[in-house]
Amino acid sequence: MIELARSAGDILHVRTKDESYGRCQCGCGMLTTIAARTDRRKGYIKGQPTKYVHGHSRKGKACSPEHREKISRGTTGHQKSRQHREALSLSLKGKGKGETNPGWKGEDAGYIAIHEWVRRNKTRTGRCSNCGKSGRTEWSNVAHSYRRELADYGELCHQCHHRYDVTNGLILPLHQRR
């Protein structure tokens, strides 16, 4: 079968393929245009017909009542048993967390990542280990090496943490900052 694909009245290409080749996949059956260039995002291949006529798509198309019934029958009553859910839960526990995560950097992790790791893995008492004041506390890195060692982090109140960092030369006192 030979047909001409038209766009705005201009003949673009002569097609000699089967009935579905070069037809809009939305269901209208109109001839589509030939892709001028490859666009992987849209699925275009240069020299091949596009999947849809410009402005057409399957998005928002209603399913036929028969198709809806098939979907309903296929999913109805297929709940996983409690044993199956528990087995799935056990098999997935710990997957992708900590060292099993493919993005794990270990000692090469940054400042924020290591502090988040400490926050998740060390329990806070709410009492400053320096002055004994209870309330809001912060994790302070004692050796200032920022490694994954929980013993290297102490719980200090904000005032003691600031004082500790100033005396060790890690930050400037407030009156010298500009």
- Output the CA torsion sign for 105, 110, 114, 120: negative
Q: Give the end-to-end CA distance of the chain in Å, rounded to a whole number.
A: 79
- Residue 105 pLDDT > 60: yes
Supply the mean pLDDT for the chain: 80
* Residue 11, pLDDT score: 47
Q: How far apart are CA 14 and CA 127, in angstroms?
A: 81
86 vs 3, more confident: 86
Task: Domain ranges for the chain, please list them.
Answer: 1-59, 107-176
Distance CA 109, CA 112 (A): 8
Distance CA(164)–CA(35), nearest Å, equals 66
Rounded mean pLDDT, 105-122: 87
Distance CA(12)–CA(50), nearest Å, equals 13
Q: Please say if the pLDDT value at position 138 is more than 80.
A: yes
User: Average pLDDT in the 20-38 region?
Assistant: 83
Tokens standing for residue 128: 């400053």
Mean pLDDT of all residues in 102-124: 87
Phi-psi region of 84 (alpha: psi -120 to 50; beta: other; left: phi over 0): alpha
Check residue 119 and report its DSSP letter: H
Query: Is this prediction's pTM over 0.75?
Result: no
Largest CA distance in the chain: 90
Those residues with Cβ within 8 angstroms of residue 171's Cβ, 6 or more apart along the chain or in another chain: 162, 165
Q: What tens digit of pLDDT does each residue of 31-86 get?
A: 888 989 998 888 889 999 988 888 877 666 777 888 888 877 776 777 778 898 88
